[in-house]
Homo-oligomer: A and B are copies of this chain.
Amino acid sequence: MKNRIITISRQFGSGGRTVGREVAQKLGIPCYDHELIERLAEESGFAKEYIKNESEYRPFGSRLASALNVGTGFDPLTNQDRLWIAQKRMILELGAKESCVIVGRCADAILEDQADCLRVFIHASFEQRAKRIVEVYGETEVPTERRLRDKDKRRISYYQYYTDRTWGDINNYDVALDAGRLGIDKCVEIIAGLY
């Protein structure tokens, strides 16, 4: 198997983004994470902050809106739907064009039919993720535990809505690693070794 593209899905606070950056650096290929949001902003016309905040929310009720508007000529797409379409097109273009690491953004599902895509999932225990988000992002008014639970719920729901797959289902990944137990460096070594 030739792994030209590496997709990294990760639990919030697991260190998956750092793993992605370091794998890309080690392999000398680009890593798309925040860069995708910037490109998406340029192409879609939405503001970066809006994309960052909204693009992980599934549009509640949009199916209903869609059903109610059949045949009326009214565009039933929500902003989230439009963002999803732009994001999907962008990831498919990236996948067809260059070797790279893509962090998050449902890239594993979008590129699932690409034989040369290595699909990675990075996770860690709740306790280790809680510790990490305080270290990396600092404290906020919202309790750490709630920040983690909210983000998890949002990702699971968004992923399920747009891909019809279960987020974190072991069968969807070539490699799943507990970065809390193995450490970031070991994860980077394993993934780079599979490229």
Contacts and interface: CB of A to CB of B under 8 A. Distances in A.
B174 A181 contact: yes
B182 A175 contact: yes
A183 B178 CA distance: 21
Interface size class of A (residues with CB under 8 A): 20 to 34
A182 B170 contact: no
Q: What DSSP secondary structure best describes chain A's contact surface? A: mixed
Interface in A172-187: 173-178, 181-183, 186
27 contacts: A1-B181, A1-B183, A121-B170, A121-B176, A123-B170, A123-B171, A125-B171, A168-B170, A168-B171, A170-B170, A170-B173, A171-B178, A173-B176, A173-B178, A174-B178, A174-B181, A174-B182, A175-B175, A175-B176, A175-B178, A176-B176, A176-B177, A182-B194, A186-B194, A189-B193, A190-B190, A190-B193
Given A125-B171, A176-B177, 18 more contacts: A1-B181, A1-B182, A123-B170, A168-B171, A170-B173, A170-B176, A173-B176, A173-B178, A174-B177, A174-B181, A175-B175, A175-B176, A175-B177, A176-B176, A182-B194, A186-B194, A189-B193, A190-B193
